[in-house]
């Protein structure tokens, strides 16, 4: 049985909890508390004498963030979901003539910063011009047994902000309390997702759900997480992509489907990768990748404006514009531009030699497609700060993509690069079941060479294609990376409420 080691402050707070119990005060009451307004609403709408009667009976609840002790009267700051507001508490307003316990014992000695309280009273303006609540009643709603990290504020500015990533990501609940800008990031994330959903819904797309547990980890070149289904006694995989299931729905007769998909890849972690992440994928019948580029520009410009009010964002010293249209360049031209090598007619041996000349690691297990991908990722990707479509990939890199209608050896695919990273990946989808089977078989050969990111053969998906899939275009957006861009964050951990971390050692 583990023993909880308590700090001095944690011991003191537990002693205060015991004192509250002795006084017959429930520190964790279950009763409904009649909140009728918020801190933000009061500060925005209160106009002093002009409308004070509208704020004569307010009831607000939240967490105590600071207290200024002035003897028989105190000023304190309460924080609710919308922000902070000051309140004024005076002994004579909350106590009877004969019993001063509520103020002298409970408020002064047993209430701590971090506790949740409810307050009732009227709004007024202090001599320094600050909108505040003069309270006539307060109720303890929840006792905090662990003290908050100390953050200082002066004149609306935050000082000594808690910046330790280990603390912030592991204890996001505390990070949200003490770092006011964090909540804004996640509020913008919701605005962003809602804007995308509205864009698609208004154009007739249907939101769907597909399996997270899959018998075949298909739809992408990535290493899966494995598990076991006890009842069926079969291995299962956490999905690496939802692509093949969404295309099954196109086969079934839906013409535009989308899903915000939680995906899992058993790979590295860094500033732009988390093993669990969110992707938006949508597939549209009777469209191609040229249409998809036009639609992507419209979607992202609309989403940027809905999220931030403007189509531009600032990240560090860079200003990025989401206003359409975006630059377009083929992958081979991008490699030639940034390395000086034209690899468009080279075989695998020739490309390996280029890797050697460029001092790029070229694993013996890798095929031609993986080598080209490594060259682009190492030498080209980081140059594309403004939104740029990289188009027309080699067929070896794209086992699910339709061959280019006019360029032999290429496929109709693009990736959208922004701020030096891939944000979206799209195809004119391969719908020839015989060719798709051949592409899958080539992936198996790569797997036999040791490529642990090569695709499995999904026989059920091939069966679906044999029933016939119309010409289709599909795309996948990295929602976390897009959120990083639209909120000006440089780390994926800053746009995930609970990013993956090494298990904590607790004594």
Binding-site residues for Mg(2+), please?
Answer: 415, 422
The sign of the CA dihedral 349, 354, 356, 357 is positive
The sign of the CA dihedral 399, 401, 405, 406 is negative
Are 55 and 41 in contact, with CB atoms under 8 Å apart? no
Binding residues: 415, 422
Instruction: Give the CA distances from residue 426 to residues 31, 130, 281, 421, 423, in Å, rounded to whole numbers and listed in that order.
Output: 52, 53, 9, 15, 10
**Exposure string for 404-413, b = 16+ CB within 10 A, e = fewer:** beeeeebbbb
Beta-carbon contacts of 316 under 8 Å, excluding residues fewer than 6 positions away, are 490
For 93, the 3-state DSSP assignment is helix
What's the N-to-C CA distance of the chain in angstroms? 11
Distance, in Å, from the CA atom of 176 to the CA atom of 170, rounded to the nearest integer, reads 12
Instruction: Give the CA distances from residue 267 to residues 222, 250, 274, 452, in Å, rounded to whole numbers and listed in that order.
Output: 8, 30, 8, 11
Distance, in Å, from the CA atom of 308 to the CA atom of 314, rounded to the nearest integer, reads 11
Distance, in Å, from the CA atom of 217 to the CA atom of 377, rounded to the nearest integer, reads 24
Q: Which of 469, 16, 505, 18 is nearest to 245 (CA)?
A: 469
Q: Which of 426, 391, 419, 427 is nearest to 481 (CA)?
A: 419
């Amino acid at each position: 049985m583990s023993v909880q080691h308590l700090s001095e402050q944690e011991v003191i707070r537990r002693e205060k909890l015991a004192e509250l119990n002795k006084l017959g005060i429930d520190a964790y009451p279950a009763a409904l508390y009649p909140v009728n307004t918020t801190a933000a609403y009061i500060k925005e709408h209160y106009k002093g004498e002009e409308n004070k009667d509208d704020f004569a009976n307010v009831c607000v609840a939240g967490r105590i963030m600071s207290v200024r002790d002035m003897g028989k009267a105190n000023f304190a700051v309460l924080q609710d979901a919308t922000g902070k507001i000051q309140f004024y508490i005076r002994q004579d307003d909350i106590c009877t003539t004969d019993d001063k316990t509520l103020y002298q014992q409970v408020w002064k000695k047993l209430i701590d910063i971090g506790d949740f309280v409810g307050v009732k009273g009227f709004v007024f303006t202090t001599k320094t011009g600050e909108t505040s609540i003069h309270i006539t009643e307060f109720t303890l709603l929840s006792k905090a047994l662990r003290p908050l990290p100390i953050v200082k504020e002066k004149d609306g500015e935050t000082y000594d902000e808690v910046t330790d990533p280990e603390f912030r990501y592991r204890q996001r609940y505390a990070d949200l309390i003490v770092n006011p800008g964090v909540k804004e990031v996640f509020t913008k994330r919701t605005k962003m997702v809602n804007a995308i959903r509205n864009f698609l819904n208004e154009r007739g797309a249907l939101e769907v759900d597909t399996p997270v547990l899959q018998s075949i980890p298909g739809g992408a070149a990535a290493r899966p997480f494995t598990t076991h289904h006890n009842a069926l006694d079969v291995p299962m995989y956490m999905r690496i992509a939802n692509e093949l299931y969404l295309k099954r729905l196109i086969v079934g007769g839906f013409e535009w489907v989308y899903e915000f998909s939680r995906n899992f890849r058993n790979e590295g972690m860094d500033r732009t990768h988390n093993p669990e992440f969110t992707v938006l994928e949508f597939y549209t019948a009777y469209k191609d990748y040229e249409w998809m580029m036009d639609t992507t520009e419209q979607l992202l410009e609309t989403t940027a404006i809905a999220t931030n009010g403007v189509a531009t964002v600032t990240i560090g010293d860079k200003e990025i514009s989401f206003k359409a249209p975006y630059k377009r360049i083929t992958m081979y031209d991008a490699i030639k531009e940034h390395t000086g090598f034209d690899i468009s007619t080279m075989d695998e041996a020739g490309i390996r030699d280029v890797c050697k000349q460029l001092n790029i690691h070229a694993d013996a297990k890798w095929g031609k497609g993986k080598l080209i991908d490594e060259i682009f990722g190492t030498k080209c990707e980081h140059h594309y700060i403004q939104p740029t479509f990289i188009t027309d990939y080699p067929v070896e890199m794209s086992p699910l993509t339709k061959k280019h209608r006019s360029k032999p050896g290429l496929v109709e695919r693009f990736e959208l690069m922004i701020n030096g990273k891939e944000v979206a990946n799209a195809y004119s989808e391969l719908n020839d079941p015989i060719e798709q089977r051949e592409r899958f078989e080539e992936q198996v050969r790569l797997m036999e060479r040791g490529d642990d990111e090569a695709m499995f053969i999904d026989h059920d998906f091939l069966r679906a294609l044999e029933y016939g899939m119309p010409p289709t275009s599909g795309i996948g957006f990295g929602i976390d990376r897009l959120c990083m861009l639209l909120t000006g964050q440089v780390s994926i951990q800053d746009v995930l409420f609970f990013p993956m971390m090494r298990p904590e050692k607790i004594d």
